[in-house]
Amino acid sequence: MTDLLIVGGGNAGLAAAVTAGELGLDTVVVEKTDRLGGQLHWSSGHFSAAGTGLQHRGGIADTAEEHQRDVERLAHGRGTPELIELATREAAAAVDWLEELGFPFSAESPALVSGHELYGKPRTYWGGDDPRTGGIPIMQTLVDALERHPSVSVVLGTAMKDLIGENRTVRGIVAGDGHEMRASRTILATGGYAASRELIAELQQHFTDALTGCLPHATGEGLQVLRRLGVPVVAADTYVPTMGMIPDPDRPGFGIPLHVARYTVNAAQRRPWEIWVDRDGRRFVDEGTESPFEREQALMGLPGLRMAAIWDQTIFEAASPVIGPDWTRQDMIDESERGRWLHRCDTLDELADRLEVDDAGLRSTVAEWTTGVDSFGRAHRPRPIESPPFWGVSSVGGMLLSRGGPEVDGDLRPVDADGLPIDGVHCVGELLGMGQFSGDNFAGGMSVGPALSLGRWVVRMLYERGVFR
């Protein structure tokens, strides 16, 4: 028996655990893998907040209300308003708290980040010098802080099998080996389901081909436990694809990790020289659009979320490499010779065959592009595509984050199908689903950010209410 039981040692679980340690609560963190950190091990670690000390010192006037309105604008009215309001209201305190813990903010923070639709003001943060690996500094900061609090113990390699409950109140969990762990309050920070092909197929039936892009332990056990208690899943229909993912030839259903190889789709990072085609070999969007949402919605209209990028040898020699991060032309030549996913062919027909694209459609599209026909009005057209060998890569829309999550009340307690909360348990982190915080879009920093702020908030809320007395 302990004061607080936290199931999951990722971003939200660590924030909750450190906060519990600061308050002197007897706390146990149960993590099913053999290490703390969860998805922070690969995450870019971007989080957003308004009204922070960093903004104030940088001369940026911003408020939580403005942040909330921006998120709701980007979410197109499909998020959960109460959760957006709570997360944006608590975000600045969480960022200031990280600063107190010694978090190494990037010198560019806060900034406007082009990978998603832009906020109205710079309010996105990350750690370290590399904006692609900012999850590691978050993890290290929280783990270091946790070690200073002896009231918190960590149990690794232990999964949750079920919840212990009576009279609509949770009293703890049943671990995978069958033993019980009881607490005054249980926080579920069990993460998402993006690595569960079964849950992807069930919860987003129209987009079952989405590639898994996260670490493989995100299999949705926490969500499944709550569903068995009659808690409905909300916002699962807000799927929007992560673009640029390349199918992993060694792991069906998974993408090659983005820090290993990706096709660069962000025109703000690299203006496109190549063209994008669907299975019929036809273009489907302006490849140079500055709107991530526009290109993501266009991809959602394609069968299997599948597209291919096409270019020729002249473009290969003149343009910066289309494969990132940090790939060289020689890297691309070496990969094309392996014949796995990057293809270099003498004819367009051969390339179409390798990419599983209609050959006649591809020939027609390339001919139109070369002669200047462009119904999408793309501005950047530096070279035609006419000089063999021809290059191409297939890309499938991905899923880095779960979109759906349990319905919860204002205290983050799960709510059953009758609208009644289940007491003694609270949900934080990716378990709640990206869709509740971003609707049918990616609002920058609204996955890592709410995990940090609400993981911290729920512990302080319970403490201030005297739950642990």
Kindly report the number of other CB atoms within 10 A of residue 437's CB atom: 28
Q: Is the CB of residue 283 less than 8 Å from the CB of residue 357?
A: no
Quote the tokens at residue 169: 């109140």
Q: Which residues contact 310 (CB under 8 A, 6 or more apart)?
A: 274, 275, 276, 277, 351, 362, 366, 385, 390, 391, 392
* Tens of pLDDT, residue by residue, the chain (469 residues): 899 999 999 999 999 999 999 999 999 999 999 999 999 999 999 999 999 999 999 999 999 999 999 999 999 999 999 999 999 999 999 999 999 999 999 999 999 998 889 999 999 999 988 767 789 999 999 999 999 999 999 999 999 999 999 889 999 999 988 999 999 999 999 999 999 999 999 999 899 999 999 999 999 999 999 999 999 999 999 999 999 999 999 999 999 999 899 999 999 889 999 999 999 999 999 999 989 999 999 999 999 999 999 999 999 999 999 999 999 999 999 999 999 999 999 999 999 999 999 999 999 999 999 999 999 999 999 999 999 999 999 999 999 999 999 999 999 999 999 999 999 999 999 999 999 999 999 999 999 999 999 999 999 999 999 999 7
Nearest partner of 134 among 356, 432, 447, 372, judged by Cα:
447
Nearest partner of 235 among 441, 45, 61, 32, judged by Cα:
441
Helix (H) or strand (E) holding 144: helix 135-146
The answer, yes or no, to whether the previous bond of 325 is cis (omega within 30 of 0) is: yes
3-state secondary structure of 418: coil
Helix (H) or strand (E) holding 395: strand 390-396
| CATH code at 2-195+402-464 | 3.50.50.60
Reported pTM = 0.95
Domain 262-396 has CATH 3.40.50.1820: no
Kindly report the number of other CB atoms within 10 A of residue 142's CB atom: 27
Quote the tokens at residue 146: 């946790």
Listing DSSP states for 25-52 in one string gives --EEEE-SSSSS-GGGGT----EE-SS-
Listing DSSP states for 40-102 in one string gives GGT----EE-SS-HHHHHTT----HHHHHHHHHHHTTT-S-HHHHHHHHHHHHHHHHHHHHTT
- pLDDT number for residue 114: 85
d(CA 195, CA 248): 14
- Does the CA dihedral 38-41-44-49 come out positive or negative? positive
Phi, psi of 388 (to 5 degrees): -70, 160
Each domain of the chain, given as residue ranges in start order, spans: 2-195+402-464, 262-396
